Structure 1
């Protein structure tokens, strides 16, 4: 949910005067109905990051027959990274990416923009569930984040990347004990972490409800997720990856020496296939029982005024999250908006995925 200017105030590339016929429409659900509270009348229920004049014009769909060394199904972060890594390792490899809609239109372009090193949802959880492997998992997670940052830098991806870290805050006394444990564990692993008491924390974010925090300064970066996806898409195209958007894969067929992929307008034959479709119904039936879709909801404010920013005393663009079981996460965008999300991970009966569930 985003407070933005009315559509009539926007034109091509975000200027006045109408819309660009060649640019894909932003995925838009509805506008706040008349009669709501005055503060909600200009709310637009649309994925904020995707509602951008930087959104690239879609690649044409697959028509006819293609063959390749590697076919990737899905043009989100996982799919595009798989394609890019393949071309980096073997520039002669023929790589196809088949995307049902447009690059990043689903979860990859609709998230909080926290790019985190943790592979295990926190050090404490890693120690509890993977006691013999947590040190290795923590090391791999940090190496992965470093590698993401290197790709952003080397390909010149303009996604507002800032390695500011994440602040985990306590609002109850018992949560401070957990944070102290996390701090000791992360320090033992050599991480760049700081334990803040109430006064030290209020110097960073002026909230009277916070009792303290752990600031993990190297384990998280803030980014614009849609622009990160679009930057990877550009890098793939420049490396010679063939990307077909508007091309859902309907069926996989085992062939001698490869796999067949059937789409509405054609088909492809690949020696290998990467399925990067996240929670959407897998093309491999035996995988389906292991994937459960859940919805997470977030909102984005208008840009805060200088007075509003001063009133909350939020001075650095780190990410934040509380320690409740149903936790919230929040951050500032590059233009001074506040993103607020979390509380529930919502499962809909029957593992439903539908555009009508995109907002609450």
Structure 2
């Protein structure tokens, strides 16, 4: 199968991992995947056989319009030259209308929806994109059963085929074999290290995690370190003020955004990964946090709130502590439990690694995507 996959993301964005790694796994299965990504206007990129870069500008609306115009003129050439069988599109952006002319080439379009819009400035574009999907999409893919139901009910896409493939993880890059409990080795032996990493946005529970450290028993608090990786510089002062207010400045280390390739190093330093998303927020309940799979792949137990995806993880095995709220008290209790049961965390981490190997590798996701695209292609050919 010859797939054209269009995404307005750049090499510097964390979430490019999904597109890059899944493309690799699809190619391993014998498919040809041409990945369309974005680059800043004027930025030089090497010529690659399987990746095409289109320009964007550093402005939210203009960025999408420029990308869309470039796509409007280039995509017909791509479809003809590469003899594309099916087109996958990141379909929740202002540039989506520019792909409408591709319908003239009688190639099925599959629109991929990875999350819900939570910012007012993007929600109108998101809603418009999904409205347009009713008329131009031959199928959709999404990340969870819960998000599929939102698409069907809120956006009235009940008559569309909607496939599900979640986030995955590279078992080679996030190798559980390098994992061991830092509490028992080296200069880190006196600390029990918690890690939260990834892109930062409001209402993700990170502040509650700092408050939770302040609620630990004094003896435990002195033996615990919290490492926050990925906090933008403009937000770090606010976090430092919160740490001072709570009295945990010595227990919390804050790092800015780092290269994605360095994330396994920071996970290896930790004893436990923490995902404190508020489980009552719809955008959280439909999500699959990539960091969850990365911690588990590295053999680290997790403290995770009970969003549906995490519930499904824990149904497969006890790989940490599942909590039903992200309050500081609940997070503090979970940290205390794992600290007091440190002899169990290696076994928990092993269970987590096994869960990821069996269910959440990119190769597993590639199989699901391939089967869905073949189904869409077969149905399209039968109708035409």
Return the structure number with greater helix share. 2
Same fold (TM > 0.5): no
Q: Shorter chain as normaliser: what TM range?
A: under 0.3
TM-score normalised over the length of structure 1: 0.25
